[in-house]
Chains A and B, each alone.
Chain A
Amino acid sequence: MTTLAPPAVRVKESKTAKGGRGGSVLWMAAPAAVYFFAFGVIPLLGVLYLSFTTWDGIGAIKFTGLTSWKAELTDPGLPHSLWVTFEIMILSWLVQTPISILLGVFTASFKRYRALLAVLYFIPLLLSGVAISITFKALLDPNFGLGAGFGIDALKQDWLGQPRLAMATLIFVVSWQWIPFHSLIYQGAVRQIPGSLYEASQIDGAGRMRQFFSITLPQIKYTIITSSTLMVVGSLTFFDLIYVLTGGGPGDSTRALALEMYQKGFMANLMGPASCIAVILVLLGVILAQLLRRLGGRGDESMMEGV
């Protein structure tokens, strides 16, 4: 913990340096740009085009103007799946963020037993979403699952068959899968906080709680935003877990936008309206990410100011 180089100043210097490295490093962005165009921009334009067409996924693509958009925007399935998506987004954020921060702070300290626990915590991160869902589906089966196996009536609920319970179960499984990832981010962030801050506060007589709320939380503000952005934008595209666990059911209780899109496009062969949902998803994602970025305040400030 020696002196910290002020990064903001250094960034400014390299920006203002004329000629120099600018020309020679530009090509380094080329591979990323190529990938981004090939797998990001071009499919996006394709989907935008498809949203103005009528296509069953097999035959010829017919340009039909706003027909698909009109059909999609008047479909009662759209507001319903939007609502489900936001429900999942907000609930999973509310569950994941506090637990991830606490676990991150807990595992950040350099104690051996905590390092061991940290390894255990991160195991769900190594599993594929589909494997997790299949496992949970088997465990939660009301007739052959955990409850029936151990004869525990409290576990014999119809976990995935009642609308509210299915949503809660879904949030639980999503959190179980992703909390390790976000804890990892927070662990890294907490380890970056200069120890001098804690030492100084200790001298001033601050307790554990005070240190957490006055130093740790403000210092990981940007990490909270990063992690929240990943959670929020990620929950827009939740698919595998829901698809395997509930298939959007019971009825349409857990049918989020991504699932609605899949069902429209690949089950009902309505590629036009499905592409409209895809466009809506992209727009929502961009808007939400921007909003969260705004929350972080001005972009050029540093959390290290004054250290």
Chain B
Amino acid sequence: MTNSNFSRRNFLGLAAGAAGAAALAACGSSGPSDKGGSSGGGGGGASYWSLSGEPGQPIRQAAIDRFNKANSGTKITPTFFQNDAYKQKIKTAIGAGQAPTMIWGWGGGGLKSYVDASQVVDLTDWFGQNDAVKQKILPSSFGAATVNGKIYAMPIETVQPIVLFYNKKVFEKVGVEPPKTYGDILNLIPKFNAKGIAPFSLAGQSRWTNMMWLEFMLDRNAGSDVFNNVFAGKAGAWSDPAVLDMLTKVQDLVKGNAFIKGFSSITADSNADQALLYTGKAAMMVHGSWSYGIQKANGGDFVKSGGLGWMNFPPIEGGKGDPSNTVGNPGQYLSISSKASAAEQDVAKKFFSTTLVDDDEKAGWVKSGGVPVLTNSDSLFTGDDAQFLKDMSAIASGAKTFAQSWDQALSPTAAETLLDNIAKLFQLQVTPQQWVDAMNGVIGK
């Protein structure tokens, strides 16, 4: 041990290096889940970013394969990301001028932020010239693609209303009937709790899951005007007494153990909330219609054997809202980056006008248990999923108002404050009045 000082220093250096390497390794964890991680989109083709996972990814991949097969000269290169990772990645890429040719999104406030930064192409004229394409898409889905009267995205994929799912087997076991009103729900809560079954499954850590409750409670209580005022940026729009009433009702649900124990640490990305429903640990769940496909894929024979029931959120006694109203995603959206070259934009437009409106696309989404944004799909609703698809289609087209999910409709800044305060509301960390004050502070931002 003659030169002890040196060996110690080297040793520490090695140790610190290991820590640094570990930190670096941890950084690279949310990368794309699929091949072809090209960002800018090379010549002679176009790039396309979207979400990974079942049931959407294979259908998206199939559409691109069809297009590439039919157009050998031009190639679309897809990259798929996990939902939450994608939301960050796409923002960063657009901000850095590295956006893919085709930007997949949810329309609404997020799309508006791209429009404000002149990052996406105005498609109004293109839809004007290609009216045949426009006629193939449900008119109601264009609302969230429209910013300041101009269309900036093509509605694609599926219409997804949020509905109340329930486990018929659990209802049978407990010997109760599905709720017809909000009062029925309140009566059911103690009955399920007494049997050790959670009345409602909820993935509270994901926050937007909690938001779906607020959306329906407010709409059934007071109609769609309150949120329309918020959306329009009217000062103090959240101060409507109906909002306080709705928030109090939601906190009463939390206090009354309406939601499964530990809901605030459950995430929707892992589909744990849906697993709680099909395993019978919870009796009901408010979720987007896309959950049907997930439960069908993961729940064994739960869906096939008729275990899953669904309905539009029931009316609240004395509420002013139209019981036919619904909220959710009126479609998914594909925009074209204004940074893409003319050739890339042409490839994208060709993809829009051919593959994305063809019969295979329609059939693919129907098969996954979704209602396509494309018109004349009803004849395809056959087989196991026919009843579900017919009901979703009826809810979507029969709704007096099909509101877009709040966090998608609002600007990212307001949406983040909204989700933050909703999480605190469910945690009983804020009172309804504090919630209203905090939300009034970001109206129009």
Chain A contact residues, CB within 8 Å of chain B: 1-5, 7, 56-60, 125, 128-130, 137, 140-144, 158-161, 163, 166, 181, 184-185, 188-189, 192, 194, 226, 230, 240, 246-247, 249-253, 263, 266-270, 304
Contacts and interface: CB of A to CB of B under 8 A. Distances in A.
Nearest to B442: A268
Nearest to A239: B26
Contacts of B22: 125, 128-129
A4 B1 contact: yes
B256 interface: no
B25 interface: yes
Contacts of B427: 163, 249-251, 253
Interface in B1-36: 1-5, 7-8, 11-12, 15-16, 18-19, 22, 25-26, 29
Interface residues of B, number: 53
B205 A59 contact: no
A266 B204 CA distance: 21
Given A7-B5, A143-B281, A181 B423 contact: no
A58 B413 contact: no
A128 B26 contact: yes
Contacts of B91: 57-58, 266, 269
A267 B116 CA distance: 17
Given A1-B1, A143-B260, 12 more contacts: A58-B116, A59-B116, A128-B29, A130-B29, A140-B265, A144-B272, A160-B262, A240-B29, A247-B205, A249-B423, A253-B429, A269-B416
Contacts of B423: 249-252
A142 B262 contact: yes
A58 B119 contact: yes
B261 interface: yes
B114 interface: yes
A192 B4 contact: yes
Given A158-B262, A268-B417, A185 B12 contact: yes
A129 B23 CA distance: 8
Nearest to A59: B117
B12 A161 contact: no
Interface string B390-427: 00000000000000000000011101110010011001
Contacts of B420: 252, 263
Contacts of A59: 113, 116-119
Interface string B61-96: 000000000000000000000000000100110110
14 contacts: A5-B2, A58-B119, A59-B118, A140-B265, A141-B266, A142-B265, A143-B261, A143-B262, A249-B204, A251-B423, A251-B427, A252-B420, A267-B412, A304-B4
A58 B18 contact: no
Given A58-B117, A143-B272, A188-B12, A250 B265 contact: yes
Contacts of B281: 143
Q: Which 3 A-B pairs give the minimum distances between C-beta atoms?
A: A59-B117, A142-B262, A160-B265
Contact of B265 (A249, A252, A269): A249
A251 B95 contact: no
A246 B265 contact: yes
B96 to A, nearest CB: 9
Contacts of A185: 12, 15
Nearest to B281: A143
B276 A58 contact: no
Contact of A130 (B3, B26, B94, B119): B26
B11 A188 contact: yes
A3 B17 CA distance: 30
B160 to A, nearest CB: 22
A216 to B, nearest CB: 15
A57 B93 CA distance: 10
A228 to B, nearest CB: 14
B265 A159 contact: yes
B182 interface: no
B263 interface: yes
A267 B407 CA distance: 11
A128 B2 contact: no
A224 B119 CA distance: 52
Contacts of A130: 26, 29
Contacts of A184: 15
